[in-house]
């Protein structure tokens, strides 16, 4: 028998620590469908996760959990790198956590410049809060800090200005576009003016290609893939979710990704060990579904591992656009994609493109909640549920403050 040292392959994991959220985003209804705090993933379950080379902590809004520091501490025992995605609202909690974990990555979603962001996110003064948090983190010397923006018709024009803002602050700038899934409790998201949105992505791609940063050149490829996605085309790279990548939800259910229409469960880590779950027939069954999945998502969670695995494809694209077009003032045009040319030339209609998307106007989106969390929402709305919960957190904090004084 070979030594007892585990040679287990490291995975890429996303931990959805809560479905509670304090925002009111126009492209995501998760805030209406929160999980019950007492059902949310425990440290005991987190200890059962496998070794990971990368972990994303997300929600809902992860900083709603008052024990997030304990979760991060546990996850650092098994993960090489951790990034938390947040709406940036709970500035004090974010700063406090970063003081203890200065190497952690923080991505704050900002949906546009001030007016656009506040409209889309539905958080009072959301832009200033998010921006203020970002600035404080940079002032603290945090190195892995950035914005995330979900591009849609309403904010596409802010894409390049926001990129410039992130650049001035020396920050990462991550992009996404509208998706539909049980995770977002949404089935009706769709881009209407594809040429306008595509044009803004094209401008961003050219800005990224102009830079001297190889990381930004690969980001340009990711954004090229977003134009391809918006036009309803096949993913530029295979989707290997559930093979060396996983998501775990607040109930301990392990899933391939967050892009499926209904929740697809490979097993439950509250009741199983990781090895039992990962090698189960149910997990194999889900992997088969992934192999034939036609949703063509292009989200960083599934694309980043694919870009590493099939590196030659984005690398050739980068070489072509960054170096072979060296003397051209404009390095990239979205009309390189045949579908964009066909649409411009009237060979494909908007209705045909809409039919290629995952948007389904008649569908009632699934929410992936447990029976008990659903039950809790029969007498109270999701928004009220979270507001009450936050009020009780505040009350607890004040009572412990006065006990200490």
Q: What are the residues binding ligand SF4 (CB under 6 A)?
A: 21, 23, 25, 28, 30-31, 59-61, 87, 239, 241, 256-257, 259-260, 290, 293, 295-297, 302
What minimum distance in Å lies between the beta carbon of 298 and ligand SF4? 8
Q: How far is the CB of 131 from ligand SF4 (least distance, A)?
A: 16
Helices (H), ranges, 152-213: 159-168, 194-210
Inter-residue contact 25 to 120 (CB < 8 Å): yes
Q: Write down the least CB distance from residue 127 to ligand SF4, Å.
A: 13
- Return the number of the residue (190 or 297) whose C-beta is nearest ligand SF4: 297
Contact criterion met (CB below 8 Å) for 318 and 217: yes
Rounded least distance, CB 405 to ligand SF4, Å: 34
User: Closest CB to ligand SF4 among 123 and 227?
Assistant: 123
Task: Enter the tokens of residue 366.
Answer: 């699934």
Rank residues 32 and 48 by Cβ distance to ligand SF4 and give the closer one: 32
Contact 149, 112 (CB under 8 A): yes
Half-sphere exposure at residue 97, Cβ-oriented, CA atoms within 13 angstroms: 25
Minimal distance, residue 25 CB to ligand SF4, in Å: 3
If the CB atoms of residues 208 and 265 are measured against ligand SF4, the closer one turns out to be 265
Least Å distance, CB 86 to ligand SF4, is 8
Beta pairing partners, 374 = none
**Shortest gap between Cβ of 363 and ligand SF4 (angstroms)?**
15
CB atoms within 10 A of CB 260: 23
Residue nearer to ligand SF4 on the CB measure, 10 or 287? 287
How far is Cα of residue 380 from the mean position of the Cα atoms in its chain? 28
Instruction: Output 16 or 209, the one with its CB closest to ligand SF4.
Output: 16
Of 107 and 194, nearer to ligand SF4 (C-beta) is 107
Residue 58: strand pairing partners? 16
Distance separating alpha carbons of residues 279 and 381, to the nearest angstrom = 39
The span from the CA of 297 to the CA of 170, in Å, is 29
* Inter-residue contact 187 to 360 (CB < 8 Å): yes
Contact yes or no for 120/111 (Cβ under 8 A): yes
Q: Taking the complex as a whole, how short is the minimal distance between the CB of residue 141 and ligand SF4, in angstroms? A: 27
- Of the pair 86, 199, the CB lying nearest ligand SF4 is at 86
Indicate the burial class of 48 (C-beta count within 10 angstroms; 0-12, 13-18, 19 or more). Answer: middle
DSSP string, 326-341: TT-S----GGGSHHHH
Q: Which is nearer to ligand SF4, 283 or 297 (CB)?
A: 297
From the CB of 227, what's the least distance to ligand SF4, in Å? Answer: 17
Nearest by Cα to 143 from 112, 111, 179, 103: 103
């Amino acid at each position: 028998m070979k030594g007892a040292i585990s040679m287990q392959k490291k995975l890429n994991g996303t931990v959805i620590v809560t479905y509670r959220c304090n925002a009111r985003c126009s492209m995501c209804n998760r805030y209406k469908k929160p999980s019950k705090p007492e059902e949310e993933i425990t440290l005991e379950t987190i200890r059962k996760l496998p070794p990971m080379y990368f972990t994303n902590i997300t929600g809902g809004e992860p900083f709603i959990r008052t024990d997030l520091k304990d979760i991060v501490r546990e996850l650092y025992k098994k993960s090489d790198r951790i990034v938390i995605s947040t709406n940036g609202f709970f500035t004090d909690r974010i700063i406090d956590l970063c003081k203890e974990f200065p190497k952690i990555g923080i991505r704050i979603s900002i949906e546009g410049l001030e007016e656009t962001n506040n409209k889309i996110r539905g958080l009072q003064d959301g832009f200033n809060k998010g921006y203020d948090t970002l600035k404080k983190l940079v002032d603290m010397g945090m190195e892995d800090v950035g914005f995330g923006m979900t591009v849609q018709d309403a904010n596409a024009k802010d894409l390049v200005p926001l990129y410039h803002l992130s650049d001035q602050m020396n920050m990462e700038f991550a992009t996404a576009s509208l998706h539909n899934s049980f995770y977002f409790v949404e089935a009706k998201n769709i881009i209407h003016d594809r040429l306008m949105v595509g044009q803004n992505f094209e401008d961003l791609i050219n800005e990224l290609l102009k830079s001297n940063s190889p990381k930004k050149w690969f980001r340009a490829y990711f954004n090229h893939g977003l134009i391809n996605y918006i036009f309803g085309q096949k993913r530029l790279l295979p989707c290997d979710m559930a093979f060396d990548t996983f998501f775990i939800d607040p109930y301990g259910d392990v899933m391939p990704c967050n892009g499926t229409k209904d929740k697809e469960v490979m097993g439950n880590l509250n009741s199983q060990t990781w090895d039992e779950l990962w090698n189960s027939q149910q997990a194999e069954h889900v992997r088969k579904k992934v192999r034939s999945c036609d949703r063509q998502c292009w989200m960083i969670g599934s694309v980043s591992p694919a870009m590493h695995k099939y590196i030659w494809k984005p690398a050739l694209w980068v070489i072509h656009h960054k170096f072979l077009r060296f003397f051209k003032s404009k390095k990239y045009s979205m009309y390189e994609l045949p579908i964009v040319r066909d649409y411009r030339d009237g060979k494909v209609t908007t209705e045909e493109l809409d039919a290629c998307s995952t948007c389904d106007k008649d569908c009632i989106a699934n929410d992936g909640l447990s029976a008990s969390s659903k039950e809790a929402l029969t007498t109270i709305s999701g928004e009220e549920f979270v507001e009450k919960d936050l009020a009780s957190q505040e009350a607890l904090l004040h009572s412990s403050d006065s006990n200490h004084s």
